[in-house]
C-alpha cells in the first residue's frame, strides 16, 4: 500500500462520520422543506382525509349493524374524497 492510499483511508476513517452527518442533515432539511410544501398545498385535504379515517376506525370499533352501515357510508365519502 502506498502512502497516498493510506492517507485516503486515514482521512475516510477520521472524517467519514462527520461527512455522513452532514449528508444526513442535508437530507433532513430537504425532508422538512418538502413537508412544508405538502402542508401548504395539501394540508386542508389531508385534514379532511385524517378526520374521515378516524371516523372509519371508530365506526368499525362500534361494530354491529349500525357500525357496518356507518362504515359503508364513510367509505363512500372516502371514495369521493380520494377522487378529488
The CA distance from 75 to 66, in Å, is 14
Count up the domains in the chain and report the number.
Answer: 1
Q: Where are the alpha helices (DSSP H) in 1-84?
A: 3-62, 64-82
For residue 2, give the 3-state DSSP assignment: coil
- Asked if 71 and 59 touch (Cβ cutoff 8 Å), the reply is yes
Domain coverage including residue 13: 3-82
> For 6-36, how does the pLDDT look when each residue is reduced to its tens digit (9 = 90+)?
566 777 778 888 889 999 999 999 999 999 9
pLDDT tens-digit series, residues 23-80: 999 999 999 999 999 999 999 999 999 999 998 888 877 776 666 678 788 889 999 9
pTM of whole model > 0.95?
A: no
How far apart (Å, rounded) are the C-alpha atoms in residues 42 and 69? 29
Amino acid at each position: 500500500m502506498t502512502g497516498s492510499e493510506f492517507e485516503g483511508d486515514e482521512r475516510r476513517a477520521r472524517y467519514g462520520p462527520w461527512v455522513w452527518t452532514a449528508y444526513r442533515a442535508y437530507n433532513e432539511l430537504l425532508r422538512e422543506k418538502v413537508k412544508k410544501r405538502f402542508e401548504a398545498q395539501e394540508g386542508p385535504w389531508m385534514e379532511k382525509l385524517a378526520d374521515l379515517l378516524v371516523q372509519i376506525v371508530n365506526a368499525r370499533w362500534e361494530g354491529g349493524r349500525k357500525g357496518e352501515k356507518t362504515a359503508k357510508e364513510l367509505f363512500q365519502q372516502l371514495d369521493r374524497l380520494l377522487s378529488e
